[in-house]
C-alpha cells in the first residue's frame, strides 16, 4: 500500500460551555471531520489522504483547528464551508490559504485569538 500523502488532523475536542479556552466541536457531532471525509471521497482521494479525528491540538482559541501533516500546515477558524476549498486548493494544489493559516508566531499562544482575515 502506498503511503498517505496527507494526514488531516481535525480537532473534535469538547469542553463545557463558557470554558475560557472554548473548544473546536461544542456539539460533539464531528461534523467537520465528516465533511472532510465526504469531500475526499467525492474526489477519489480516500486512498491517499486521511481525515483523522484528533483531540485537543492546543490551539483552542484559534479553532476550530486542523493541522495537515507532513506539511505541518495549521488552519484555524475552519468552517464546514471551508472544507471543499481546503481539499481542492491545499491538498490537491498545494496552495496555502492565507485567510485560514495560523502563522508560526500565533501557534501555542494560549489566550490569543486569531485576528479576522
Establish if 63 lies at the interface with ligand FES (CB under 6 A). Answer: yes
DSSP 9: E
Establish if 66 lies at the interface with ligand FES (CB under 6 A). Answer: no
The secondary element (H helix, E strand) that includes residue 34 is helix 31-42
Among 8, 10, 24, 91, binds ligand FES (CB under 6 A): 24
Q: Which stretch binds ligand FES (CB under 6 A): 37-45, 50-58, 98-106, 108-116?
A: 50-58
Cβ 10 vs Cβ 86: under 8 Å:
no
Among 10, 40, 60, 66, binds ligand FES (CB under 6 A): 60
At CA 45, angle to CA 50 and CA 63, rounded to 5? 45
The secondary element (H helix, E strand) that includes residue 40 is helix 31-42
- Contacts with ligand FES, residue ranges (CB under 6 A): 11, 13, 23-24, 56-60, 63, 65
Amino acid at each position: 500500500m502506498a503511503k498517505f500523502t496527507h494526514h488531516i488532523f481535525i480537532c473534535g475536542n469538547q469542553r463545557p460551555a463558557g470554558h475560557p479556552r472554548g473548544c473546536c466541536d461544542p456539539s460533539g457531532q464531528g461534523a467537520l471531520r465528516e465533511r472532510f471525509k465526504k469531500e475526499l471521497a467525492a474526489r477519489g482521494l480516500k486512498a491517499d489522504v486521511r481525515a483523522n479525528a484528533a483531540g485537543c491540538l492546543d490551539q483552542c482559541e484559534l479553532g476550530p483547528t486542523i493541522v495537515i501533516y507532513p506539511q505541518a500546515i495549521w488552519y484555524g477558524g475552519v468552517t464546514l464551508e471551508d472544507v471543499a476549498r481546503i481539499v481542492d486548493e491545499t491538498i490537491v494544489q498545494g496552495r496555502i490559504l492565507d485567510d485560514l493559516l495560523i502563522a508560526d508566531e500565533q501557534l501555542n499562544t494560549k489566550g490569543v485569538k486569531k485576528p479576522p482575515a
